[in-house]
Amino acid sequence: MKPWPTLALMAALALQGPSWAQTNKTLASAPQAKPPSPEEVAETAGAPLIGKYAPALTLRTLDGKTIDLAKLYGKKPVYLKFWATWCVPCRLQMPHFENVERTLGKDIEVVAVDAGFNETRQAVIDYRKKIGLTMPIVIDDGRLADALSLRITPQHIVIGRDGRILHVGHLADAKLDNALKQAIAEKPGAYAPGGAVQGAGSSAPVLKTLSGRPLDLADGSNATVVFFFSPWCETYLTSSRPAMAAACLKAREDVTRLSAKSDARWVGVGAGLWASNKDLADYQHQHKLTLPLALDETGGFFRAYKIADVPTFVVLDKSGHVIGRARRAEEAKRLAEQAGKPPAKVS
């Protein structure tokens, strides 16, 4: 199971536009609804942002320097590109990205924003050195993804001189190039930080399971183990991040085994990055998972619980309060069992 319809397929077609949807028809014999292309996903997520003031955040680069976006808005346009070292379409677009920095970097602030999902600082440093990236690189702590509706990688954000968002997209195409030219050609304008787009904050959004029921984490009678995962981790990362792929596979197998023998309630929350509800449903069907699953489409649930890597387990008491975190299902089960025990009597 891989995302929309596979990242491997996207690697071959990422720079050719959304024509992969037709290719996808050959992957199944039964007719099915046309899935949105990655560009459509990015544009749909970005549509409410167009024309609004960009977030006034201060970023820290890999080299320890500070980028105060608020000081750039109103004077210099900004180009933010979300990416990840494991993302094949991102890698394919890197020559275009580096060319923008080398040819337009004096006129527009170019910033590479690593999405910070299943990523390590060292992997970013090694990748920068390997291909010779020269623009500033930031590893997102979730604030930019939250404010700018990150749904897919790569995701391009072009911000005009006045601080208003001009373009949100996935492809390195003519639309992106035209947006960059437009941003550079604009005259400086007043920036209104009070009108900047804001993220959803730290509160977790209410999710619905695949069956359509709200995902209530306060069981009322016992502990709950929340399994944070990605439906494509164990397959897509096999070549680029084999250790992570193996961890995802083991976690899913352990959850299947342990949840059936546990008094605690187990639920799964899938990352919305590069995944849809159909991907989640296919994952559930393929692996015969019986625990309730919900997709965190906006990433707000992951951010509220400070989840940057999968698999991760969060254990909640019967009231829904966090009592522990774990990277392995066995440890999560132990924490849940401890939470379910009655308090020891004081003699």
Report yes or no on 153 lying in a domain.
yes
Q: Is residue 161 predicted with pLDDT exceeding 90?
A: yes
Q: Are residues 236 and 191 in the same domain?
A: no
Same domain, residue pair 176 and 232 = no
Residues 276 and 175 in one domain: no
Q: Which of 62-71, 157-166, 267-276, 333-342 has the lowest mean pLDDT?
A: 333-342
In order, the DSSP letters of 16-55 are S-TTHHHHHGGG-SS--PPPPPHHHHHHHHHGGGTTSBPP
Determine contact, residues 138/35, Cβ cutoff 8 Å: no
Rounded to an integer, the average pLDDT of 56-70 is 97
**Are residues 236 and 292 both part of a single domain?**
yes
Instruction: Identify the pLDDT of residue 134.
Output: 98
Is residue 202 assigned to a domain?
Answer: no
Read off the pLDDT band of 240 (50, 70, 90). Answer: confident
Closest CA to 166 of 295, 51, 73: 51
Mean pLDDT across the stretch 146-175? 97
Is residue 253 domain-resident? yes
Q: Give the number of other CB atoms < 10 A from CB of residue 158.
A: 26
- Taking the CA atoms of residue 279, residue 145, residue 328 and residue 219 in that order, the dihedral angle to the nearest 10 degrees is -80
The band of 126, judged by pLDDT with boundaries at 50, 70 and 90, is very high
What domain range includes position 263?
224-340
What does the angle CA 213 – CA 214 – CA 219 come to, to the nearest 5 degrees? 105
Same domain, 190 and 326: no
Q: Are residues 159 and 43 in the same domain?
A: yes
| pLDDT(77) > 60 | yes
* Per-state percent for the chain, helix, strand, coil, to nearest 5: 40, 20, 45
In a domain, 213, yes or no: no
Q: 112 pLDDT band (50/70/90 cuts)?
A: very high
Do both 141 and 265 map to the same domain? no
Distance CA 330, CA 230 (A): 19
Residue 2 lies in a domain: no
Query: Which is nearest to 201 in space by CA: 272, 147, 141, 269?
Result: 147
Least confident of 7-11, 67-71, 140-144, 332-336: 7-11
258 shares a domain with 317: yes
**Of the candidates 37, 106, 178, 73, which has an alpha carbon nearest to the alpha carbon of residue 167?**
178
Q: What pLDDT score was predicted for residue 345?
A: 54
Specify the CATH number for the domain of residue 289.
3.40.30.10
Q: Quickly state the pLDDT bin for 218 (edges 50, 70, 90).
A: confident
Q: Mean pLDDT, to the nearest integer, of 84-98?
A: 96
Query: Residues 232, 327: one domain?
Result: yes
Look at residue 29 and tell me if it is in a domain.
Answer: yes
Asked whether residue 8 carries a pLDDT value surpassing 60, the answer given is no
pLDDT at residue 263 greater than cutoff 80? yes
Q: Which residues contact 129 (CB under 8 A, 6 or more apart)?
A: none
- In sequence order, which ranges of the chain are alpha helices (DSSP H)? 7-13, 20-24, 38-46, 69-72, 88-104, 121-131, 143-147, 174-185, 233-240, 242-259, 277-287, 300-304, 329-340
Note if the bond before 48 is cis, omega within 30 degrees. Answer: no
Asked if residue 87 lies in contact with residue 108, where contact means CB atoms within 8 angstroms, the answer is no
Q: Is residue 180 exposed (0-12), middle (13-18) or buried (19+ Cβ within 10 Å)?
A: buried
29 and 103 in a single domain? The answer is yes
Digit-coded pLDDT (tens) for 280-299: 999 999 999 999 999 999 99
Count CA within 13 A, CB hemisphere, residue 344: 3
Residue pair 328/313 in contact (Cβ under 8 Å)? The answer is: yes
Q: Which pLDDT score, from 0 to 100, does residue 200 have?
A: 78
Task: Identify the CA nearest to 268 among candidates 211, 221, 323.
Answer: 211
In contact, 131 and 125? CB cutoff 8 Å? no
Q: Which of 34-38, 275-279, 297-301, 332-336 has the lowest mean pLDDT?
A: 34-38
Read off the DSSP letter of residue 196.
Answer: B
Q: Looking at residue 301, what is its pLDDT?
A: 95
Q: How far apart are CA 248 and CA 6, in angstroms?
A: 17
Q: How confident is the model at residue 219 (pLDDT cuts 50, 70, 90)?
A: confident
Q: What is the pLDDT of residue 21?
A: 36
Give the span between the Cα atoms of 160 and 228, in whole angstroms: 37
Phi-psi region of 70 (alpha: psi -120 to 50; beta: other; left: phi over 0): alpha
Does residue 187 sit in the same domain as residue 62?
yes
Q: Is the pLDDT of residue 32 over 80?
A: no
Q: Is residue 90 part of a domain?
A: yes
Q: Quickly state the pLDDT bin for 11 (edges 50, 70, 90).
A: very low
Q: How many domains does the chain have?
A: 2
Question: Letter for the amino acid at 32?
Answer: Q
State the pLDDT confidence band at 28, using cuts at 50, 70 and 90. very low
